[in-house]
Amino acid sequence: RDEAGRRVFDLRATTGTSRFRSGGATRTWGFGGGYLGPTLRAARGETVLVNVRNDLPETTTVHWHGMRLPAAMDGGPHQPIRPGTTWSPTWKVDQPASTLWYHPHPHGETAKHVYRGLAGLFIVDDPATGRLGLPSRYGVDDVPVIVQDKNFGDGNRFDEGHPLMGGLGIMGDTILVNGTLGPYHDVTTRRVRLRLLNASNARTYRFVLSDRRTFALVGTDGGLLPAPHTTDHIQLSPGERAEIVVAFAPGEKVVLRSDPPDLGEVGSARFVGGDDAFDVLELRAADRLAPSPALPGSLAEAPRIGPPGGAGARVDRRFELSGSKLNGKKMDMSRIDFAAATNATEIWELTSLGGKPHNFHVHDTHFQTLSVAGAPPPPELRGWKDTIFLRAQQPVRVAVRFGDHADPRTPYMFHCHILYHEDQGMMGQFVVT
């Protein structure tokens, strides 16, 4: 903490090397050297200050994905950090307990910077929900699971080539969790919370446990769900998060896997990862497990910001994703697509016209899903979201609550979080006034 009582973090983006497997080190980018960056953590009500030093050979940015904060602190393409300089955003954390993340967002270069290793978790704690009894010992029974796919080329270098088919950019055949290949976690308690983050460039995962056992989904992008939802799978597209609680018996071995995801209508599923399955993380329970508190029956207040149902309700804005364009346009750093009022609620309809998978992410705000193809949203979409997968021709209606930080000059972004699409220009900008 500094004299002003702010919680201070130092991040240094730099080139380095990492050893993922035998046969030679891999050149990587990371915060503090190596691969990925530290987990940052702050409580609701705290003011944070992050000193982001750029020791890379090129300009980057650091964006706080899922954070509500002033646009000038957002770390999008309008806050470049030139090589050899430091950017020091500061803001007051004021949002529910949630699993957020940070990653570069330089105009047209995001895919490369993230792929090389620049990303990390940002956990928000909330004293109001901190006593719920969810597993919360970091690294013991509250475990970050940052999932990424890589291709290793000659000499273990990261292969940044795009497959000819698919149109999603880099799709890897090798899974890393928290930057580790072939990872496992030693389970020492009856229940473990996994904070899943899909930090991959393009791949969507459908997480399941190897014996198809059920688990409790307790949180999504913007925080805890109203109540735990028992399920045997959770699908996450790039940028999405989920917190799940898994119960274990002594001595057992369970593998967190990814099944072929349901991508909806796509030209050819096999070129976009629709047929792929992976082992992600092995969970090895000890012969004796410490007790864990029972799961609470309710977790957080249900978001209620739009008209119930959504169908038939007014629609304030429509967004169509097609090819590499959003509403027929490509990102233009000097074009502001719209202005919204502080604390306004708007109903948006998001539609992917198909061909390739797309999702949709909005900065600063969180949204509530009102309907998917006219039907009520499934349980995993009942909490706060900031990123949502769009199946082709299945319009999603969301109620978006804008933040309270007015700045008529500095825009926030909305975009497809398949990083190649984002870089190609499937992105727009808005201001809050």
Least distance between Cu ion and beta carbon 368 (Å): 17
φ, ψ for residue 410 (rounded to 5)?
-105, 120
Q: Enumerate binding residues for Cu ion (CB under 5 A).
A: 65, 358, 363, 416, 418, 421
Considering beta carbons, is residue 104 or 377 the nearer one to Cu ion? 104
Smallest gap from Cβ 257 to ligand C2O, in A, equals 25
Return d(Cα 219, Cα 265) in angstroms, integer.
27
CB closer to Cu ion out of 282 and 364: 364
Nearer to ligand C2O, 20 or 205 (CB): 205
416 binding partner (options ligand C2O, Cu ion, none; Cβ < 5 to 8 Å by kind) = Cu ion
172 contact choice in Cu ion, ligand C2O, none (CB below 5 to 8 Å, kind-dependent) = none
Residue 396 Cβ vs ligand C2O, minimum distance, rounded to whole Å:
18
Q: How many Å apart are CA 12 and CA 177, to the nearest integer?
A: 21
Concatenated DSSP letters for 221-271?
TTEEEEEEEEES-EEE-TT-EEEEEEE--TT-EEEEEEEPP---S-S-GGG
Q: Mind giving me the DSSP string for 161-225?
A: PPPSSSSSS---SEEEETTEES-EEEEEESEEEEEEEE--SS--EEEEETT---EEEEEETTEEE
Return d(Cα 221, Cα 139) in angstroms, integer.
Answer: 20
What does the block give as tokens for 417? 């979080």
In the bound state with ligand C2O, the residue whose beta carbon lies nearer, of 187 and 236, is 236
Candidates 102, 349, 124; CA nearest to 224 is 124
Least CB distance to Cu ion at residue 220 (A): 15
Which residues in this chain contact ligand C2O in the complex, by CB under 6 A? 63, 65, 103, 105, 239, 361, 363, 413, 415, 417
Cα(310)–Cα(261) distance, rounded to whole angstroms?
26
| Rounded CA separation 171/180 (Å) | 17
335: nearest Cα among 427, 400, 422: 427
Whole-number minimum distance, CB 306 to ligand C2O, in Å? 23
Compute the least distance from the CB of residue 347 to ligand C2O, in Å.
Answer: 22
Residue 418 contact, options Cu ion, ligand C2O, none, Cβ 5-8 Å cut-off depending on partner type: Cu ion
For Cu ion, the closer CB: 114 or 418: 418
Minimum CB separation from ligand C2O for residue 412, in Å? Answer: 9
Q: Which is nearer to ligand C2O, 359 or 394 (CB)?
A: 359
Q: Which is nearer to Cu ion, 283 or 427 (CB)?
A: 427
144 binds, among ligand C2O, Cu ion, none (CB under 5 to 8 A by kind): none
Helix (H, G, I), strand (E, B) or coil at 330: coil
> 259 vs 166, 181, 207, 235, 275, CA distance in Å?
19, 18, 6, 9, 8
Q: Which does 358 bind (CB under 5 to 8 A by kind): ligand C2O, Cu ion, none?
A: Cu ion
User: What are 253's strand-pairing partners?
Assistant: 284
In which element (H, E) is residue 283 found?
Answer: strand 278-290
Q: Return the number of the residue (187 or 331) whose C-beta is nearest Cu ion.
A: 331
**Residue 421's binding partner out of ligand C2O, Cu ion, none, with CB under 5 to 8 Å set by partner kind:** Cu ion
d(CA 410, CA 412): 7
Q: Which does 112 bind (CB under 5 to 8 A by kind): ligand C2O, Cu ion, none?
A: none
In the bound complex, which residue of the shown chain has the CB atom lying closest to ligand C2O? 65
Residue 99: CB minimum distance to ligand C2O, A: 13
